[in-house]
Structure 1
Amino acid sequence: MPTLQIGRKEISYELRRSAEASERRITITPEHVEVLALTSDTDGDIAGFLERKRQWVFNTVREMELITAGRHAVPRFMTGSKIPFRGRKMSLTVRRSDGDHIEIAYRNGFIVDLPSWASRDADRLVSTELKLWMKQRVRRDVEHIAVDYRKRFNLAPRSIRVAEFVNGWGSCGPEGNVLINWQLIFAPRQVLEYVVVHELAHLRYRSHGPEFWRFLATVFPKYIGAKAWLDANDSSLSAEFLGR
């Protein structure tokens, strides 16, 4: 593994080249330093890039060492934390990045890249950005589900959007406006689909009479298992851990 010598300190790093990258990037966690380079970069290009970033690398590695040494005082949103997502607890990795913006990626776990300016209030920023990311993801999922059922069963609401509910998981107003609770992002996707389809079914049958449940079983045969999961886990689906 290559190393970067900064004064008396020798820092090992992993060099990764990417054909998809548009710019060079360094990310740092307590256990790992990764240098992302372009496929066209020469050794000289990479060496020059690291030279320009050497002070930032040194400061950030030192910061990570202090975090590791004081684990008892580490904020909630740190590398190794578990984040509920689609019915599972997924790992969180928080990295320091030399980029300009906070970036979130999901690859079998959450990866949050924090730029230097975000170091002072990192816990709150990670919380806020995760909440925004999850709201965007559930909006996308709801839109995809709604489009699918409109095409297959002609269930076309006047509007459908994601909202924050005090109580309940969804609603369908008398004019056909559907609302879905964004905190369903913490449930398995099939449960989210059940709630969306449940509200869409009210476009045909307003009450929860026998005809409604027969129709729901026709358009979403797996609804019984999804409904049972939601009934059993209703109280545990909350964004309180993300703060306000």
Structure 2
Amino acid sequence: MTYALRIGRTEIAYELRRSATASERRITVTPGHVEVLALSTDDDDDIAGFLDRKRKWLFDTVREMDRAIGGRHVVPRFMTGSKIPYRGRKMPLTVRRSDGERIEIAYRNGFLVDLPAWAGTDADRLVASELKLWLKQRARREVKQIAAAYGRRFGLAPRSIRVGDFATGWGSCGVEGNILVNWHMIFAPRRVLEYVVAHEMAHLRVRSHGPEFWSFLSSIYPAWESAKQWLDSHETTLSAEFLTVSSGSMKDDE
């Protein structure tokens, strides 16, 4: 339900949502929208008292959002409405101001970042940093899952699996069986990420790129050619720095 809170001569509309699973009350602010999350056990006095304690924070945050919208031409790129490359598509970013204590990131058909009050004017850098960390962690998790599946199915046992930054290239397999995958592969469709992991896993069996290697790769990942074609055609955007990629021209996967 929608309500309004008057602070001085300013009236702030907000949506009230109750939750049976929430452990604490919370306010989130996005451009043009305020949501108040209340406990299912709260009565009107509980909610009114909570809002009264948050009056100054809410007023200042809404005013900050209004200023950002008014000066949109100078607003940093990591803001609501930006597009973040992920799995071959550009997904929407929503940045909200929250009265919580920690930066929180969720993914639900797009990225949702909750920024606490202490983020201040450094919000753009913080959002970029936290998103990069989230994407690296997701890349690490998916690479290890794919490698484990190939290891079980085809008896391939790398000495280690790591995800990191590459100056060039998408993956490597050292002579001792240590596999390293570029974290930027999280920007590619999963089938392309799987190709890179399968490619490096295949080197555990065949070191060279001769006919024997491609024959073995075909036996463990038959769709490698189309995945390689996608990677070859997107390599210039995919290998760019994160800040550049985030505002670049990477195409959606078709």
Q: Same fold (TM over 0.5)?
A: yes
The answer to whether the Cα contact below 8 Å between 1:180 and 1:196 also exists between their aligned partners in 2 is yes
Gaps (5+ residues) in structure 2?
A: 245-254
- 1:202 alignment counterpart: 203
Matched, 1:124 2:125: yes
Separation in 1, partners of 2:198, 2:23: 41
Shift of residue 239 of structure 1? 4.8
- 1:70 alignment counterpart: 71
- 2:61 alignment counterpart: 60
Residue 119 of structure 1: SS of its match in structure 2?
Answer: helix
- 2:162 alignment counterpart: 161
The answer to whether the Cα contact below 8 Å between 1:102 and 1:115 also exists between their aligned partners in 2 is yes
Q: Deviations along 1:15-58, whole A, 9 cap, x unmatched?
A: 12223322211110112111112223223222221111111111
Ranked by relative contact order (alpha carbons within 8 Å, sequence separation 6 or more), the top structure is: 2
Separation in 2, partners of 1:201, 1:22: 48
Length, aligned pairs only: 243
Using the size of structure 1 for normalisation, the TM-score is 0.96
Separation in 1, partners of 2:45, 2:217: 63
Matched, 1:34 2:38: no
* TM-align CA RMSD: 1.3
Task: Give the 5 Å matches for 1:184-223.
Answer: 184-223=185-224
Residue 131 of structure 1: SS of its match in structure 2?
Answer: helix
Separation in 1, partners of 2:222, 2:38: 49
1:147/1:40 CA distance change after superposition, 3 Å: farther
Q: Which runs of 4+ in 1 moved over 3 A?
A: none
Using the size of structure 2 for normalisation, the TM-score is 0.92
The answer to whether the Cα contact below 8 Å between 2:132 and 2:242 also exists between their aligned partners in 1 is no
Which of 167-176 and 142-151 deviates more?
142-151
Report the residue type matching 2:61 in the other structure.
Answer: T
